[in-house]
Every structure is written in C-alpha cells, then in structure tokens.
Copies of this chain bind each other. A is one copy, B any other.
Amino acid sequence: MHKLAGIELGGTKTVVVLGQAGRIDERLEFATTEPEETIARAIETIEGWRDDKPVDAVGIASFGPIRVSREAADYGCLLDTPKPGWSGAAVVAPVAAALGCPVALDTDVNAAALAEQRHGAAQGCDSMVYLTIGTGLGGGVLICGEPVHGLLHPEIGHVRLRRAAGDGFEGACAFHGDCLEGLLSGPALAARLGTHPSRVDAENPMWEPVAHDLAELLAMLVLTVAPERIVVGGGVAQRQPQLLPMAVGRVPTLLGGYLRDCTREKLGGMIVPPQLGDDAGPMGALVLASRALEDRVAAVRHVPAAA
C-alpha cells in the first residue's frame, strides 16, 4: 500500500494530509502566510509523518492562477495573483527537492473535481464540473476523467453571463464587476443583499435574481461542456441550500426547450451537492499523489530493456 501526502494550498489556509486515495489518516491545518514559510511548514509536516518510511508521492491542490503545464518553464509556480508575496512563487519545486518523491500539481478545484469523481457525488461520471461558491467562485472540469488544462486552466468564476432583466446590482469583482464571482460569491452576496446572507431567509424574493445568475451558469456549462454531472459546493452553496434547486428549476426555461433531454427532473439528478464537503480539496490532493505514482510507474515501464 502506498503512503501518500496531500497539500491543499488555499488563499487563507493550508491543509496537509497523509493517507491514500480515498482515505485521510492524518491532517494538519494552518494559516497560509508567506510562500517560503507556508511550503516549509507543509514539508516539515509531511517529514514528521515519516515513521518507518517516507511518503511515496505528494499531490498539491493549489489556489490559482498557477502554471499546471509541465512543459512550461514556470511549471509549478503561481502566476499574477492579488495575494501579496505569492506572484511567481514556486510551489512544486521545493516540495519535490525536499521530499525526493513524485509531486503532482493541479488547481484546488480540479483536485476537488477528481475527489468527487473518484470518491464522492460524481462517481461514474467521466465528464463533470465541480463548482465551489464561497469566498470566490471557481470551477474544476474533468473530461474523460482528466482535469482540463490548456492555455492555463478554467477560470469559470470570471465568465460574464446574461443578467436578469431589471437586476441592477453592479457586481463585486475587482476585475470584472458583475462576472459570476462578482454576483455569487459570499462577499458579492453580502453587497447584493445589503447584509450578511445568513440574515436573509430562504423565502425572501431577494434570492430570485441570485438563483437566476446561478441558473445562467449551469445552463452555460450544460451547453459548453456537456457534463454528466455538476457538483456545486462551497460555503455559499452549503449555507443557502435553497439556491441550487431554485437555480436548477430555471435551467429548462433558459435552455428554451432546445435540449429536451434536460428536463427539470433529469437536471435535478445531474446537478447535485458534494458528498465530500471540505474534504474534497485534501482528498483531491491525495488523488493527485496517486496519479503522480501511476506516472512514475508508467515511466519505469518505458525504460528500455538495456538500461
């Protein structure tokens, strides 16, 4: 049995875990501070779990934007980020150097998508989206079971979709105003509702335009990515459980009868809350670690016989 470690590197806190794909055995959480200090603490934590043998692989699920393409010169480094001190910070290299084992990297949301697909609410769905609506709004996408990368990685939170008629809220995103994050994240909801979202009860009509915006996001994903499942997690989704069914109910109307498969009933089974909750990120990091090991196994298999 392999010994795996995972690091969920978040904008505010970092979670380090020891376990297997599908099981967390040890966990330590601490505040994300400076890059060097934070990464060093994660490494020390993992080294402290050495016992009889070191870990076989580490998976890192990081906030972004981060370079996930292994061919890039700045692979494993944060890109421009508003988080002070983190632009350009190397995340993969110091972990690999210190622990001397395979290290895999992906975004926190792609990792959470992998975890929900392997062990949670999207089992059996090779094509799925994991959305998290909390402090920010992010999305991880799996196609054929593989996390989507390309130019960079999906940044679904910053798509600007159609606003509900008569909804004048200007949005709260520093970059784009009323992109999805600027409409649906926790801080956006506080600005939009004029109070903490928890103070607005579920029946309040103020949730209607919010449900509309979430429905536009779901419809866009159905039309663009054609996922078999959409898992909607994060603090906002968790604390306002009325929002998801309200939004799902609006999707068939937005699709305008175009995809008759997409009935409200079918969409209700397809667009679901997560099963792993806050564990999706760290469990995703463990899935990444197990994938790093598969890569190494594959690499070993391809060594020429003469070597």
**Chain A contact residues, CB within 8 Å of chain B:** 65, 79-80, 125-128, 139, 141, 143-144, 146, 148-156, 158-163, 175-176, 216, 219-228, 254-262, 270
Contacts and interface: CB of A to CB of B under 8 A. Distances in A.
Contact of A162 (B160, B226, B258): B160
Nearest to A65: B259
Q: Which 7 A-B pairs have the closest CB atoms?
A: A127-B150, A150-B226, A143-B143, A175-B256, A176-B256, A160-B162, A175-B258
Query: Which applies to chain A's interface (DSSP): helix, strand, loop or mixed?
Result: loop
B227 A151 contact: yes
23 contacts: A65-B259, A127-B148, A127-B150, A127-B151, A141-B224, A141-B225, A143-B143, A143-B144, A143-B148, A149-B226, A150-B228, A151-B222, A151-B227, A153-B226, A154-B224, A155-B258, A159-B224, A160-B254, A161-B162, A175-B255, A176-B256, A220-B224, A224-B224
Contacts of A126: 150
A28 to B, nearest CB: 32
A169 B260 CA distance: 27
A60 B144 CA distance: 21
Contacts of A255: 158, 175
Contacts of A159: 219-220, 223-224
A258 B156 CA distance: 12
Contact of A220 (B152, B163, B220): B220
B224 A150 contact: no
A254 to B, nearest CB: 7
A266 to B, nearest CB: 9
A258 B226 contact: no
Contacts of A150: 125-128, 143, 225-228
A245 to B, nearest CB: 19
A225 B225 contact: yes
Nearest to A68: B226
